[in-house]
């Protein structure tokens, strides 16, 4: 574990959003233990290693779980309700987070196939 990884957190997010701007879905993978780390971190939450490299992953998966937000307390999201936030199981074996777009909230189901799309420099998911 590196001595001070706290300052790396903004850098990890910047690199993640750079990939999103390119239309590329990436997930960090730990060189220490081999586990995927999602969302971006400065250090591996499993083993503490600071050696986390971004790897491209296929932007397809299925909804693991979701919630419909009817009243947001998040700045920037108030007024967009209702919207759907979900964890998505990717084929690579990692779970990714994001909003479901492109369908009505009541149409979202656990197990629904989805494909990544990028909105506001973040991965979102739409029905595949
Ligand atoms: Zn690790």
pLDDT of 72-98, one tens digit each? 998 888 898 999 999 999 988 999 999
Q: How confident is the model at residue 2 (pLDDT cuts 50, 70, 90)?
A: very low
- CA-CA distance, 94 to 87, in Å (whole number)? 10
> Where do runs of H (alpha helix) occur along 1-123?
8-21
Q: What is the pLDDT of residue 1?
A: 41
Task: Order across the sheet with 26-30: list the strands.
Answer: 36-37, 26-30, 52-56
Domain containing 112 — which CATH number? 2.40.50
Helices (H), ranges, the chain: 8-21
Distance of CA 59 from the midpoint of ligand 1 (Å): 23
37 CA → ligand 1 middle, Å:
8
- Provide the whole-model pTM: 0.85
Are residue 68 and residue 35 in the same domain, yes or no? no
Domain count, the chain: 2
Dihedral of CA atoms 91, 94, 96, 100 in degrees, nearest 10, equals 30
Residue 36 shares a structural domain with residue 70: no
Same domain for 82 and 115, yes or no, is yes
* Ligand 1 centroid to residue 62 C-alpha, Å: 25
Q: What are the angstrom distances between the C-alpha of 65 and each of 73, 80, 85?
A: 20, 20, 9
């Amino acid at each position: 574990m590196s001595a001070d990884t706290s300052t790396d957190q903004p850098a990890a997010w910047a690199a993640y959003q750079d990939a999103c701007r390119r239309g590329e879905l990436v997930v960090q993978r730990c060189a220490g233990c081999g586990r995927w780390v999602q969302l971006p971190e400065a250090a591996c939450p499993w083993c503490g290693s600071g050696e986390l490299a971004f790897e491209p992953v296929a932007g397809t998966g299925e909804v693991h779980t979701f919630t419909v937000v009817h009243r947001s307390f998040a700045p920037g999201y108030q007024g967009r309700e209702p919207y759907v936030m979900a964890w998505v199981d990717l084929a690579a074996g990692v779970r990714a987070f994001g909003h479901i777009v492109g369908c009505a909230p009541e149409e979202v189901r656990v197990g629904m196939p989805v494909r990544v799309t990028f909105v506001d420099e973040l991965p979102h998911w739409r029905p595949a």
